[in-house]
Structure 1
Amino acid sequence: MGHLVYGGTMYEFEDRLLAHLQVVVERKLMKMECFFLTWHPQCLADTEMSVWISPHSPIAFHFSGSREPKISKAWVVALNAISHTSRGLMAISEEDAVKYLRENPGVR
Structure 2
Amino acid sequence: MGSLVYDSRTSIPMEDRTLAHLQVVILAKLRRRESFGFTATVDDREVSLWFGPRVALEFRYADRRRPAMNRAWLELLADVASSRDGLVIAPEPETADVPDPRPIPRTPSTPRRPARPRPAPLPDVA
Structure 2: unaligned runs, 5 residues or longer = 95-126
Structure 1 residues 12-53: Cα deviation after superposition (integer angstroms, max 9, x where no partner): 111100000000000000000111111123xx23x3211111
- What is the Cα deviation at residue 66 of structure 1? 2.7
Give the SS at the match of 1:32. coil
1:72 aligned residue: 70
Pair member with larger Rg: 2
Q: Which structure has more helix as a fraction of its residues?
A: 1
2:52 aligned residue: 54
Larger RCO (CA under 8 A, 6+ residues apart) = 1
1:20 aligned residue: 21
Alpha-carbon distance between aligned partners in 2 of 1:20 and 1:62, rounded to the nearest angstrom: 13
Structure 1: unaligned runs, 5 residues or longer = 99-108
CA RMSD of aligned residues (A): 1.3
State the one-letter code of the partner of 1:88: G
- What is the Cα deviation at residue 81 of structure 1? 0.4
- What is the Cα deviation at residue 61 of structure 1? 0.4
Count of residue pairs the alignment pairs up: 93
1:28-39 to structure 2, matched below 5 A, reads 28-39=29-40
**Superposition misfits of 4+ residues, deviation over 2 angstroms:** none
Identity across aligned pairs (percent)? 35
1:5 aligned residue: 5
Alpha-carbon distance between aligned partners in 2 of 1:28 and 1:66, rounded to the nearest angstrom: 24
